[in-house]
């Protein structure tokens, strides 16, 4: 539907000439609102786009039933049509793998290289999720060693978010079983969070085998969901990476 698009692009006053577009992919159980304040907070010299998958927020009534190859091609085509010269894809956790597939579709179908920034995600991560107890979001936060967000004090909101995470994990287990496309001619920056109980530095290094370009690993303080509660460190790194281009 037109009022609930998959890719949501907004111009940034810090970028003149539509030269660069930073595209953000949310993690499992979350939505595009994760990045709502980023254009103002980050002061990035790029236009800004958020990807909103089905099954959450204003798309909650739409089941996430897309195949990952088809979804990535749809997103890649939408990004190619924006008219931006340079595309920078940022994906956190589940969003990191989706961003990878979109990068592959951009290269294979549109002949476009992009820069990829992957946070808290490594190839094969779904194998590390068997401890998730369906519907028990509080236990999931405890397993990760993360503080409960205030929104979970509301039982109705907790039920909605639990259902979203249930569906996302089921979707990941099914769709992430596809062989990872690659190797790709990309430059990749990996963000590893020092207290992350799901993804460690050695896991992130597996991205090196999937690219022919340079891979750089960056370490940030916090756990798997630090990006959501306190994104300042990640935003500072993003500013630096984009200013280096």
d(CA 31, CA 56): 6
Contacts of 211 (CB under 8 A, 6+ apart): 182, 183, 184, 185, 186, 187, 188
* Residue 1 confidence (pLDDT): 46
CATH topology for the 7-123+179-239 domain: Rossmann fold (3.40.50)
**Series of mean pLDDT values for 10-residue runs along the chain (245 residues):** 80 62 95 88 84 97 96 97 94 96 97 96 68 72 84 89 91 90 94 94 94 96 93 93 84
DSSP one-letter code for 7: E
* Residue 3 confidence (pLDDT): 66
- Do 136 and 161 meet the contact criterion of CB atoms below 8 Å apart? no
Count CB-CB contacts under 10 A for residue 196. 24
* Residue 141 confidence (pLDDT): 85
* Residue 150 confidence (pLDDT): 85
* Residue 12 confidence (pLDDT): 63
Q: CA angle 234-26-196, nearest 5°?
A: 55
* Residue 233 confidence (pLDDT): 94
* Residue 21 confidence (pLDDT): 94
SS3 readout for 51-78: ECCCCCHHHCCCCCCCCHHHHHHHHHHH
């Amino acid at each position: 539907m037109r009022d609930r698009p998959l890719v949501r692009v907004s111009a940034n006053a810090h970028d003149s000439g539509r030269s660069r577009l930073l595209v953000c992919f949310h993690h499992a159980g979350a939505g595009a609102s994760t990045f709502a304040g980023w254009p103002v907070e980050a002061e990035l010299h790029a236009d800004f786009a958020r990807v909103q998958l089905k099954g959450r927020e204003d798309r909650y009534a739409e089941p996430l039933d897309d195949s990952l190859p088809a979804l990535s091609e749809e997103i890649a085509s939408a990004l190619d049509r924006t008219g931006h010269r340079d595309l920078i894809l940022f994906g956190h956790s589940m969003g990191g793998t989706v961003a990878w597939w979109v990068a592959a579709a951009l290269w294979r179908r549109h002949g476009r290289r992009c820069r990829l920034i992957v946070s808290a995600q490594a190839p094969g991560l779904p194998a590390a999720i068997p401890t998730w107890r369906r519907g028990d979001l509080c236990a999931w936060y405890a397993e990760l060693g993360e503080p409960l967000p205030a929104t979970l004090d509301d039982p109705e909101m907790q039920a909605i978010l639990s259902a979203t995470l249930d569906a996302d994990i089921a979707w990941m287990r099914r769709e992430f079983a596809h062989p990872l496309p690659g190797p790709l001619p990309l430059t990749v920056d990996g963000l590893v969070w020092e207290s992350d109980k799901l993804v460690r530095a050695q896991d992130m290094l597996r991205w090196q085998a999937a690219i022919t370009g340079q891979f750089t690993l960056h370490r940030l303080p916090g756990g798997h969901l630090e990006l959501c509660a306190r994104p300042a460190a990640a935003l500072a790194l993003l500013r630096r990476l984009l200013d280096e281009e």
